[in-house]
Amino acid sequence: MNISEGRRIKGNFFGKSIISFSQFSSSDIYLLFSRAEKMQLIARNAKPSKILAGKIVVLLFFEPSSRTLASFDAAVKQLGGQTVVITNPQQFSSVAKGESFEDTIKVFEAYSDAIILRHPETGSAQKAAEIAKYVPIINAGDGIGEHPTQALLDLYTIYKQAKNLSNLTGLVAGDLKNGRTVHSLLQGLLLFPNNKVFLLSPKQLKLQKDMLKHFKDNGLKIFEISKTEDLPKNADFWYWTRVQKERFKSKQEYQKLKNKFIVTKKLFEKYAGGKTILMHPLPRVGEIEKDLDQDPRSVFLTSQTRNGMYIRMALLDLVLRKN
Ligand code: NCD
């Protein structure tokens, strides 16, 4: 996404809306990671933190969510702040009475110190950030656009394992056309030198051409593959995603594509290495076989999930408090 100069973080998160991964530089990411390390200690500490005491964060979710919603909610509460949770406003709030998006944002802005927004329309977080005058908006997924906080936790998970974010080889698979987490993750990987990514998907779900060009032009080495025989050996990470059912017009088309690529134990044994981590933004709906869950390299239900809360705690701390 093209982001205006004023939105760039440049070492200062305070008061800024977080809309796209393109706002971050590599040093912004490391700043956030070092804060996340501290957050891990706070989360483990039995004594409650007061870092966000007195702050109210609205979670405004127009699309279903469990972990993004819960991890933001938990992150605010871990830091002593409070949340107002509005899920499915199309059905249960004034939106159902025909309220405009603009009015909804203005109303919740009046009650809160920040709004975390998930919305089915690409560009909606950017739109909300233009409407809100007093509080930052954090994009928790806008249609098939981006999901920057998911990519931050994904990069953090890779960093903790590989101890580095450059010279990596990764595999990203599944619905690359509609998967917003993939779009943000690739934007993150191109901030660091010499990263190589294999993209595996059915041809109908390939990354859109303009995005592919953008990533390649900015230095990410990309290899598009369409069969598992071409998987790289010993990659640093495998990032599997679900086929995004809700983005399909035709049910048959979804049925045809949903199980095209599945991680089996056999496949993982054949191509992954001892240090390869197996990631997934979740929810998993059959793309990774259950018998891989016990493998210590499977991090999607363990450290990747935990990192989500630490990263969101760190981000909220940096955005909501003058540090
Ligand atoms: C992802 C999303 O909503 O984009 N989920 C999440 O936030 N962890 C991925 C998905 O829904 O497939």
- Residue 1: its pLDDT value, please? 61
Residue with token string 């007093």: 134
Query: HSE of 156 in the Cβ direction (CA atoms, 13 Å)?
Result: 31
275 is catalytic: no
CB-based contacts of 132, cutoff 8 Å, min separation 6: 17, 105, 106, 109, 115
Is cis: bond before 283, omega within 30 of 0?
yes
Residue 242 CA: which ligand 1 atom is closest? 12
241 is catalytic: no
If you average pLDDT over every residue of the chain, what do you get?
A: 96
CA distances from 42 to 51, 207, 223, 261 (A): 10, 39, 41, 39
Q: Is the pLDDT reported for residue 90 higher than 90? A: no
221 DSSP β-pair partners = 196
Residue 181 CA: which ligand 1 atom is closest? 4
- Residue 135: its pLDDT value, please? 98
| Residue 59 near residue 73, CB atoms below 8 Å | yes
Helix-helix angle 303-320:67-78, to 10 degrees: 50
Q: Ligand 1 pocket test: which of 175, 178, 181 has the largest number of ligand atoms within 8 Å of its C-beta?
A: 181
Position 296 confidence tier, pLDDT thresholds 50, 70, 90:
very high
CB-based contacts of 34, cutoff 8 Å, min separation 6: none
216 is catalytic: no
Average pLDDT rounded to a whole number, residues 308-316: 98
Residues framing ligand 1 (Cβ under 6 A): 67-68, 141, 147, 150, 180-181, 241-242, 244, 281-282
Q: What is the pLDDT of residues 56-74, one digit of tens each?
A: 999 999 998 889 999 999 9
